Structure 1
Amino acid sequence: MGSSEETAKPISLYDSSSPSHPLLSKPADDPPLLQPPYSDTPESDASQYLQISYNYGPRPFKDLPFLILFLIFVLCTFGFGIFSIFHRNNNYSSLSSFVYDSNSTSCVRDSVSSNYNWVSLSFSSGSQFVKDLIWTLAITLLLSVPICFLLLLVLKHYTKQIVYASLPFFIVMPIFFNVYWFVACTVSSSCSDAFPLVYRILVLVFVFLVIGVILWIFVANWHRIELTVSIIGVASNALSRNLGLFVALPCMMFGLVVYYAPIVVFLVFSRLNGKIVPRELKGEYACIWKQDGWVPAYYALAILTMLWSAAAMVEAQVFVISGTIAQWYFLKEDSTPKRTIRSSLRYAFGPSAGTVCLSGLLIFVVRMVRAVVDTARQEDVPGIVNLLLRCCVNVVLSAIDFLNKFTINFAAISGEAYCSSARMTYELLKRNLLSAVFVETISTRLLAGIAFVFSAIYAIAVCGILKAVSNLGYELYFVALLAWVLLLLVLLYFVHVLDNVIDTVYVCYAIDRDRGEVFKQEVHEVYVHLPISRNHRPDIISRTLGV
């Protein structure tokens, strides 16, 4: 058993006693740590990359113009929103009581028709269906927290067992639901009348074809399952060491909801900005509501601000996850992480706020452009020019996704600006023969499949319990479906967090390889088996052969 000083020191990647070795061995005459492995840059340029690690500060403000631009959008949204409240026209709610006065050629209030006919709506809020629905969704939301922790615990200690046990369900459960709905619809006279047999058979066959494609994907990628299991286990262990993220991330989402609340109020009150004016309709004058000219522009501004804020909050969460996991990764074995989440939050909403806003803006623009391209594809506009434009746009969007994949992770670790982080991340992965677009994408699909299995089992249990304790008919299937959707959304959010942990650990592993150190031996034992980037292999082979 070594001394505490020895355990605290990072293991050299090229130490002969270390069980972890690079994929391509380094020449013995090269002194260790003088230059990054596989680097083709001059020694003077390579020295800057030896300092890549978690930057504990102080960090200067980066990408400040984009933060200022975002704040201008927010201030304009709130400023015009407050103006819309004080400038509202209260006559909007009494539009029906105004009539056209031919003497004054304007709309005036009609005292005769000023009485309102209120229609009393009877809501069956006390019905059994509404009660069961509310109770089921509330209990599901409460149980989603322990279910997430249970899933994390199982993935940490029994990764292989839970993955291999879930794989058959990816095929069995879709087959079960496909056959079940077909039989149920055939037995039910109302369903069979509304949905003819030919269409039911077509849907049945189509779903079976989709299941066949899923089965083929598993068979074709079976050799990656073992590596994927190890990657998920490492990420689950890292996330279990930072459970405070399950408090910080929901609080950030709650903060976004609180931030949205006044903007929604402003949008409601902006509709009240206008006046009642006469308009000739079919030879007769009627009184209509005419909004002020600035109201549509304010709607566009407020919606753009909300969308940009949502994208920026998603990137801020990725920033916080990356910063927290990186601090845990680069801690020495005998150290205890302190205030990792707090410092990540401080950097995300402080010096790196401009970087987060820029990343969110890029993601928002990419999603909007992609939606426009998909809409144009559905409309099937003919012409070779339109086809070429769509191809060019898809190439540009793919390039942005390529650059953005690990950029925010690296920015959270180093505190660099967005463009510097994109460039340095690409060079870091290139020097170490690691792909910038591939960690182990099948892990995300496996995790999403496990979330689907857990939520489906829960929905089946809810359906059985409702059959036993309630008098609902076919409504219980709708209640169980909503419970399944709610739990699935929560579990998919958990998968999103775990997926970002995988990406962060991947970047930290690349930094370790670049520095020739091993901070987390268990990570290197797994990630060292990732495939080498084929894009850079010829250069390495050429240098190895001395060409």
Structure 2
Amino acid sequence: MIIGVIVWIFVVNRHRIELTVRIIGVASNALSRNLGLFGVLPALTIGLFVYYVPIVVFLIFANLNGKIVPREENGEHFCVWKQDRWVPAYYALAILTMLWSAAAMVEAQVYVISGTIARWYFSKDDAGPKHGIRNSLRNAFGASFGTICFSGLLIGVVRILRAMVDNARREDASGIVNLILRCFVNTFLSAIDFLNKFTINFAAITGEAYCSAARMTYELLRRNLLSAVFVEAVSTRILAGITLVLSAIYAIVVCVILKAGIHLGNDSYFVALMAWVLLIIVLGFFVHVLDNVIDTVYVCYAVDRDRGEVYKQDVHEVYVHLPISRSHRAGFVARTPLVV
């Protein structure tokens, strides 16, 4: 029954799935021209952990600041350690700094991916310009560093608020008011998260500041009647599904080989579990990069369409089949060409 339902879903959405597969193929081709990203992005993550080292060390030493004070309880006298007043505030500041830094690093990685892919897209040579990754890194940690930090701050706040909403849901807060507030907050946070995703792509392409990039991104997609939801939702779900299926198959094969060939016994389950986790991490990283490449190519195509140009014919042949945004099917929107 379940298999039949799955097959029916695939048959009904066959055209959408075919289009999504072609979009993923175009993005994979773009990524294959910029394989250096697979070395730069992990290096940025390692740099983040190196940045965390002194913060953690200072947190440890901050905990040592205080004095021993006497205390009386139930007629007994004993000594306790009392931290200085500034230590809790420093802990809060350090933790917030680490969260903000992590969010900013994620946005910096998206910026580097978008800038590199955009340079490939708008170049006449299919191989792309030289030093594309280097230029994107220089812009990310130079002129556009404020944009990245602001985006990281915004996303960090969104994540914290979403965690608070989820925590309230787990505590089973009753009442129609709480339900309405949760729905409103979730919708608002999802809208911010969605808009921010394409804003960073556009900022990396044009070098605009965050607020102007957000406004111009919305106007760009609105003028060209493009459905960003299709690219965002369908491609992400297909990539996530492929990741889960491949990792599960890999774990099963590893378990069978270990039990039948090496005779590890019950230890084979633990090894298979570790293999599954490792492959999930590797494929998750690849999907994260590919997902951002898809978004970047999508925005580049929108810029091309807005300016009436064709830089990558193979991209246009695929993205021209994207569905028109439902909110703009009723009428024609006057187009003002974008100058990048």
Taking structure 2 as the reference length, what is the TM-score of the superposition?
0.91
Match of 1:240 in 2: 32
Q: Bigger CA drift: 272-281 or 321-330?
A: 272-281
Deviation of 1:451 after TM superposition, in Å, equals 1.9
Distance in 1, Cα, partners of 2:258 & 2:65:
49
8 Å Cα contact 1:234-1:523 kept in structure 2: yes
What are the equivalent positions in structure 2 for 1:5-154 lying under 5 Å apart? none
The one-letter code matched in structure 2 to 1:369 is L
8 Å Cα contact 2:223-2:333 kept in structure 1: no
Distance in 2, Cα, partners of 1:270 & 1:361:
25
Match of 1:301 in 2: 93
Q: SS state of the match for residue 381, structure 1?
A: coil
Q: SS state of the match for residue 327, structure 2?
A: coil
Match of 2:157 in 1: 365
Deviation of 1:424 after TM superposition, in Å, equals 0.5
Residues 326-362 of structure 1: CA deviation (Å, up to 9, x unaligned): 0000001477511000000000000000000011111
Deviation of 1:531 after TM superposition, in Å, equals 0.1
Deviation of 1:220 after TM superposition, in Å, equals 4.6
Is 1:223 the counterpart of 2:49 in the alignment? Answer: no
Match of 1:377 in 2: 169
8 Å Cα contact 2:115-2:201 kept in structure 1: yes
What are the equivalent positions in structure 2 for 1:333-344 lying under 5 Å apart? 333=125, 336-344=128-136
Picking from 274, 280, 284, the partner of 2:76 is: 284
8 Å Cα contact 2:33-2:127 kept in structure 1: no
Deviation of 1:472 after TM superposition, in Å, equals 4.0
8 Å Cα contact 2:121-2:311 kept in structure 1: yes
Is 1:269 the counterpart of 2:77 in the alignment? Answer: no
Match of 1:453 in 2: 245
Is 1:482 the counterpart of 2:236 in the alignment? Answer: no
The one-letter code matched in structure 1 to 2:252 is I
Distance in 1, Cα, partners of 2:104 & 2:5:
35
Picking from 217, 229, 233, the partner of 1:425 is: 217
Match of 1:389 in 2: 181
Distance in 2, Cα, partners of 1:268 & 1:293:
16
Picking from 249, 254, 266, the partner of 1:462 is: 254
Match of 1:324 in 2: 116
Deviation of 1:295 after TM superposition, in Å, equals 1.3
Distance 1:390 1:441, change over 3 A: closer
Match of 2:106 in 1: 314
8 Å Cα contact 2:251-2:273 kept in structure 1: yes
8 Å Cα contact 1:426-1:436 kept in structure 2: no
Name the % identity: 76
Residues 199-248 of structure 1: CA deviation (Å, up to 9, x unaligned): xxxxxxxxx97x88766654553331110111011000000000010111
Deviation of 1:288 after TM superposition, in Å, equals 1.9
Consecutive unaligned residues in structure 1, runs of 5 or more:
1-207
Distance in 1, Cα, partners of 2:79 & 2:225:
71
Q: SS state of the match for residue 81, structure 2?
A: strand
Q: SS state of the match for residue 439, structure 1?
A: helix
Consecutive unaligned residues in structure 2, runs of 5 or more:
336-340
Residues 77-127 of structure 1: CA deviation (Å, up to 9, x unaligned): xxxxxxxxxxxxxxxxxxxxxxxxxxxxxxxxxxxxxxxxxxxxxxxxxxx
Deviation of 1:262 after TM superposition, in Å, equals 1.5
Picking from 34, 49, 61, the partner of 1:257 is: 49
The one-letter code matched in structure 1 to 2:74 is K
Deviation of 1:389 after TM superposition, in Å, equals 2.4
Distance in 1, Cα, partners of 2:69 & 2:9:
63
Deviation of 1:308 after TM superposition, in Å, equals 0.5
- Structure scoring higher RCO (CA < 8 A, sep ≥ 6) equals 1
Distance in 1, Cα, partners of 2:38 & 2:308:
33
Distance 1:334 1:403, change over 3 A: closer
8 Å Cα contact 2:24-2:294 kept in structure 1: yes
Match of 1:147 in 2: none
Distance 1:289 1:335, change over 3 A: closer
What are the equivalent positions in structure 2 for 1:488-503 lying under 5 Å apart? 488-503=280-295
Q: SS state of the match for residue 68, structure 2?
A: strand
Distance in 2, Cα, partners of 1:498 & 1:269:
41
Distance in 2, Cα, partners of 1:300 & 1:471:
51
Match of 2:338 in 1: none
8 Å Cα contact 1:320-1:345 kept in structure 2: yes
The one-letter code matched in structure 1 to 2:293 is V
8 Å Cα contact 1:406-1:436 kept in structure 2: no
8 Å Cα contact 1:405-1:436 kept in structure 2: no
8 Å Cα contact 2:227-2:322 kept in structure 1: no
Picking from 291, 296, 299, the partner of 1:504 is: 296
Deviation of 1:290 after TM superposition, in Å, equals 1.6
Distance 1:219 1:536, change over 3 A: same
Deviation of 1:489 after TM superposition, in Å, equals 1.2
Is 1:534 the counterpart of 2:326 in the alignment? Answer: yes
Is 1:401 the counterpart of 2:175 in the alignment? Answer: no
* Aligned residues between the structures: 335
Residues 295-339 of structure 1: CA deviation (Å, up to 9, x unaligned): 111111111111110000000000000000000000014775110
Instruction: Give the CA RMSD over aligned residues.
Output: 2.3
Match of 2:265 in 1: 473
8 Å Cα contact 2:108-2:140 kept in structure 1: yes
Deviation of 1:400 after TM superposition, in Å, equals 1.1
Distance 1:277 1:412, change over 3 A: same
Residues 114-159 of structure 1: CA deviation (Å, up to 9, x unaligned): xxxxxxxxxxxxxxxxxxxxxxxxxxxxxxxxxxxxxxxxxxxxxx
Q: SS state of the match for residue 437, structure 1?
A: helix
8 Å Cα contact 2:202-2:299 kept in structure 1: yes
Distance 1:300 1:334, change over 3 A: closer
Q: SS state of the match for residue 389, structure 1?
A: helix
Distance in 2, Cα, partners of 1:359 & 1:215:
40
